[in-house]
Amino acid sequence: MQFVLIILLSVFSAIVYGIIHDQITARICVEYFTIGHPPIFNTDSPTLLAFGWGVVATWWVSLMLGFPLACAARLGSSRAWAAKELIKPIAILLGVMGIGAFLAGIIGFKLASKGSIRLTDAFGSKIPASRHIPFIVDMWTHSASYLFGFVGGIVLIVRIWRKREKNIRRPLTAATADRGR
């Protein structure tokens, strides 16, 4: 049961993050969602697009990372971790993702404002020129969220596994040997 709860915690956490993230970025540039994504939602509403894409774009990534996280937390001979023990590490990961996305958005804005980066013809011709910089900000923000989430998810999985393995490999000291008698 805990194995499944860890996967559900991962998916739920990512979806909540995705919705909050998209509520912000949909207001920066709605065209990122209406032109830059396939038209699966028939709306121009930033709120509805953020809810829809917040779910669609995150559930599969979090499932892909949630399963190995559950394996790292539950399988093996050391004490298995419960889902509640992963709330804080997952929250920290989401915080790092948010900070990384924010900083990437600022970098994208600065570079686009200076003309150092531009939209290619694929999107440049479809999006009004006045919306190019906000589109780039969203693109950089979303790309950073995925990068930090994927790499951070792998780091989290490895850290949980190593913490659990460290506990079973801890050498016996005189004090711990006496407790066992």
Query: What is the percent of the chain where pLDDT is above 70?
Result: 92
Angstrom CA distances, 129 to 14, 66, 110, 119, stand at 33, 40, 16, 10
Query: According to the model, what pLDDT value does residue 179 have?
Result: 44
Measured distance CA(73)–CA(75) in Å, rounded:
6
Measured distance CA(134)–CA(130) in Å, rounded:
8
Domain that holds residue 7: 2-170
Q: How many domains does the chain have?
A: 1
- Residue 166: pLDDT band (50, 70, 90) is confident
Task: Tell me whether residue 33 is in a domain.
Answer: yes
Q: Is the C-alpha dihedral spanning 83, 86, 87, 91 positive or negative?
A: negative
Q: Whose structure tokens read 């399988």?
A: 75
User: How many CB atoms neighbour CB 129 within 10 A?
Assistant: 8
Query: According to the model, what pLDDT value does residue 181 have?
Result: 42
Instruction: Judge whether residue 172 has pLDDT over 60.
Output: no
Give me 5's structure tokens: 């709860």
| 113-162 tens-digit pLDDT | 999 999 987 888 899 999 999 999 999 999 999 999 999 999 999 999 99
Closest among 25, 33, 47 to 98, alpha carbons compared: 25
pTM: 0.88
Identity of the amino acid at 101:
A
| 34-49 tens-digit pLDDT | 999 998 989 999 999 9
Task: Tell me whether residue 83 is in a domain.
Answer: yes
| 77-126 tens-digit pLDDT | 899 999 999 999 999 999 999 999 999 999 999 999 999 999 987 888 89
Task: Tell me whether residue 175 is in a domain.
Answer: no
Measured distance CA(169)–CA(181) in Å, rounded:
19
